[in-house]
Chain A
Amino acid sequence: MPFLRILLLRLLTTLVTLAGVAVIVFFVIRVVPGNPIAMMLPPGATDEDIARLSALYGLDKPLITQFGIWLSGVMQGDFGTSITTRQPVLGLVLGRLPATLELAIMALVMAVLIGGAAALIGTRGRGTRTEGAIDVVNGMALSVPDFLWGLVLMLVFGVLFPVFHISGRVTPSLDLPFTTNFYLFESLIRLRFDLWADLVAHMFMPALALAIPLAAIIGQLLKQSLKETMNLDYVTLARTKGYGETHVIMHEALRNAVLPTLTLVGVQFTFLIGGTVIIERLFSYEGLGNMAIDAVINRDLPLIQGIVILFAVIFTAVNLIVDLLYTVLNPRLRHA
């Protein structure tokens, strides 16, 4: 099938999915008991005050009308105004997004490095005790979710051997010269390695907690795929040319073995992003997920809607990128 048609089809299904998400979120949170407007006002506010403010936020209209207003706003990039902070939702959400993105990407990098190393070492020592040990560790890492790994890491590296910070994104007393919210990235560009080190010391444990289950999946799938590839004829042929085991794994097998694992890793990466919600809460990391939980607790409907939609956009975007990457890496598809 032509590449462009696949792309268009994918974009179309993505839009349908996002529309579904929007509908469900909108109607689910309207059922939330407790009047968020009443919570905003100081105690002793009259019913008229509440009615006036409700009208201001459009909460007095029928649900369908509210949905129409909200959707047409979203189309124009207006996600409404947060009830608790009285600031535009889009600004709030985009302000927190970089922190979450940095965390997720850091976790992804860690997962690929750890999982990739495990797969390569396991393949290098296949059939030996090394592979057995890697399998056992992988199985453990896979069975236990990020939340528990976060707690374990917190106890080990935060309390028992306090080498990393257990809460926050950056030490509050530090002076931040940043113009964007991509602190980690900007600190590198500005060559402020002191700040970079502080950011990493905060980010290390939450990122590692998120990375462990994904690293296990990468390690397991890639190792299996590598072992299958290592039995193929072209790998055997490369051996007769005088290449050592490591070269054969890295140059002949790895690239072909990565492809089948890639799609699954993409799905797993969206799980990782979903995991940031609770991990950010656990480590008091000021990202999107932490903000989302606060928004739920404060019944801040417009903010909840905005965050969930943003998460859904990220999820579908990741899946789309993985599909494109798959096509780019596979010469057979590229030329088809």
Chain B
Amino acid sequence: MSFLSIRNLSVRLKNGPPLLRRVSLDVAAGEVRGLVGESGAGKSMIGKAVLGILPPSVQITEGEIFLDGTDLLRLPPKESRRRIGASCALIPQDPLTALNPSHRIGPQITDRLVDILGWTRANADARARDLLAEVQIADPDRVLRSYPHELSGGMRQRILIASAFAAEPKLIVADEPTTALDVTVQKQILRLIAGMQARHGTALLFVTHDLGVVSKVCQRLSVLYSGLVVEDSTVPEFFASPSHAYSAALLAATPKYTDPDAGLHPVPEAVVNAVRAEVAAFDRGPAHG
């Protein structure tokens, strides 16, 4: 069985509209899966559900999330939290808000190792230094003693990546990890994540709206529209011939760096109407009476 296996996961706003509609997907050990969709399609919601950090305004109405064969949703909260902490990690979207402004960098990398996994402080500190070297930060000792506001956005994202890999997790959720960065830094960070993933053999759930990024980093991908998975295939298959009209249009809408004269092709209205009808039909379907 895959390391992460989501089955028929439905999530909705309390007393509100559905956000995820019976989503199923698998991430095998060491595999990179892209989650693609427009903003509001629910791609981040999947990552949050896996990590148990859904906002309190949102509730899971059905489905299972198997992590290494165990359904997290059936476990007591404390136990599921412990399992997630021990085997998963998050690379957040905005490095400027994801580090605690009143703690130094060092403890923010090592806290999980010491508090949750029971490492000695000396081992954890040595590990932090190695990790900073691995994410190509010069002068790790100074950085470990710094406060977040003393470092640049790119530096902070490197630190967050180092922190995510600290405990050698089996699965990392990267939630649009380059969206908030400068274009010049984006490519470096992307290469860094891909390199680290390959070296450590970590499975990666890569949330993005950028199909270009998916083609470089991922092996498989899921395309979401309004919380519905409309496409689940391997990356080569998808780029050769997408099976769903919406994902084909999405692919056509992606600007080609190789051919700047091709112009922009927004998703045609007819395709949007078709996929909307599909979502509406799903909501009316037998599964939901």
Do any CB atoms of chain A lie under 8 A from CB atoms of chain B in the complex? yes
Q: Which of A219-251 contact B (CB under 8 A)?
A: 231-234, 236-244, 247
**A237–B52 Cα gap in the complex (Å)?**
11
Is B71 close to A, CB under 8 A? no
Does B184 touch A at the CB level, under 8 Å?
A: no
Are the CB atoms of A256 and B101 closer together than 8 Å? Answer: yes
A22 to chain B, nearest CB (A): 41
* Minimum CB–CB distance for B162 against chain A, Å: 13
Contact A234 B147 (CB under 8 A): no
Q: Which of B88, B99, B101 has the most CB of A within 10 A?
A: B101
- B97: chain A residues at CB < 8 Å are 232-234
Given A237-B98, A244-B81, A332 and B115 contact (CB-CB distance below 8 Å): no
Residues of B within 8 A of A247 (CB): 115
User: A231, A234, A255: which has the most chain B beta carbons within 10 Å?
Assistant: A234
Asked if B265 is at the interface (CB within 8 A of a chain A CB), the reply is: no
A252 with B82, Cβ < 8 A, contacts A233-B92, A241-B112, A331-B149 known: no
CB–CB B86/A252 < 8 A: no
Counting CB contacts under 8 A, is B53 at the interface? yes
Option from B93, B94, B99, B116 in Cβ contact (under 8 Å) with A241: B116
Number of contacts between A and B (CB, 8 Å)? 71
Q: Which of chain A's residues have a CB closer than 8 A to the CB of B99?
A: 234
With A and B bound together, what is the CA distance between A232 and B148 in angstroms?
Answer: 15
| Count of residues in B whose CB is under 8 Å from the partner chain | 31
The 5 A-B residue pairs whose C-beta atoms are closest, nearest first, are A242-B85, A241-B112, A233-B97, A233-B98, A242-B116
Chain B residues with a Cβ under 8 A of chain A: 51-53, 55-56, 78, 81-82, 84-86, 88-90, 92-94, 97-102, 111-112, 115-116, 147, 149-150, 160
29 of the cross-chain contacts (CB-CB < 8 Å) are A127-B56, A231-B55, A233-B92, A233-B93, A233-B97, A233-B98, A234-B99, A234-B100, A236-B53, A236-B92, A237-B90, A237-B92, A237-B160, A238-B111, A239-B51, A239-B52, A240-B51, A240-B84, A241-B85, A241-B112, A243-B85, A243-B116, A247-B115, A330-B102, A331-B101, A331-B102, A331-B149, A332-B101, A335-B149
